[in-house]
């Protein structure tokens, strides 16, 4: 038995479009269903998309680099947005201690005013052209540094801002 042929120009134009819309609606629902099944219906954070910890590297070479060239300005921290820009500083002679982290904007501004580092120094320039020291940058509430197996790890689980 042959399929009925669409005779009017309107039917020949509308039916394929409706078929395509129905296909994409079913595809979207299937994707949503698979995602809900994988997460067990919960909205948990994904470590792949939004990492909560970031391993910077071994503490000895990092502390030597900071001593020679000034604090490290780190952009993005492997997140889906580049809003988590930080400045990593080290004080003292023991590479296992003395690590300090700051947001990469002035303490008296928001993240809408990022800083640029003067190469090889501990001096930063903000969006208004002010020259700032590393201690003039914003402290990040909820961001913790820890040394594990002589590797520096930034913990962003409780980060705000």
111 Cβ contact partners less than 8 Å away, ≥ 6 residues apart: 83, 85, 103, 105, 161
Could you tell me if 67 and 60 are in contact, meaning their C-beta atoms sit under 8 angstroms apart?
no
Phi/psi-derived region of residue 52, left when phi > 0, alpha when psi is between -120 and 50, beta in every other case: alpha
Q: pTM of the predicted model, to two decimals?
A: 0.64
Whose tokens are 């134009």? That residue is 13
Give pLDDT tens digits for 68-122: 999 998 887 645 444 678 899 999 999 999 999 998 999 999 888 889 999 889 9
Percentage of residues of the chain with pLDDT beyond 90: 47
The candidate with the shortest Cα–Cα distance to 143, out of 103, 94, 89, is 103
Could you tell me if 107 and 138 are in contact, meaning their C-beta atoms sit under 8 angstroms apart?
yes
CA distances from residue 160 to 14, 53, 125, 155 in whole angstroms, order as listed: 51, 14, 23, 12
Flag whether pLDDT at 29 surpasses 80: yes
Can you spell out the DSSP letters for 67-133? Answer: HHH--EEE-STT-SSTT--EEEEE-SS-TTS-EEEEESSBTTS-TTS--EEPTTSSEEE-TT--EEE
Flag whether pLDDT at 6 surpasses 70: yes
């Amino acid at each position: 038995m042959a399929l009925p042929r669409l005779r009017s120009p309107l039917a020949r134009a509308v039916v394929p479009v409706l078929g395509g819309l129905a296909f994409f609606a079913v595809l979207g629902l299937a994707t949503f269903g698979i995602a809900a099944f994988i997460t067990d219906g919960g909205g948990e954070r994904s470590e792949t998309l939004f990492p909560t910890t970031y391993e910077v590297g071994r503490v000895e070479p990092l502390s030597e680099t900071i001593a020679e060239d000034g604090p490290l300005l780190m952009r993005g921290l492997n997140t889906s947005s580049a809003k988590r820009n930080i400045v990593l500083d080290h004080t003292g002679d023991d590479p296992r201690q003395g690590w300090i982290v700051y947001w990469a904007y002035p303490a008296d501004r928001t993240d809408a005013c990022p800083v640029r580092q003067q190469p090889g120094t501990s001096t930063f320039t903000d969006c208004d052209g002010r020259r700032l020291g590393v201690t003039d940058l914003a402290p990040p509430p909820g961001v913790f540094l820890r040394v594990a197996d002589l590797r520096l790890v930034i913990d962003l689980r409780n980060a705000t801002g």
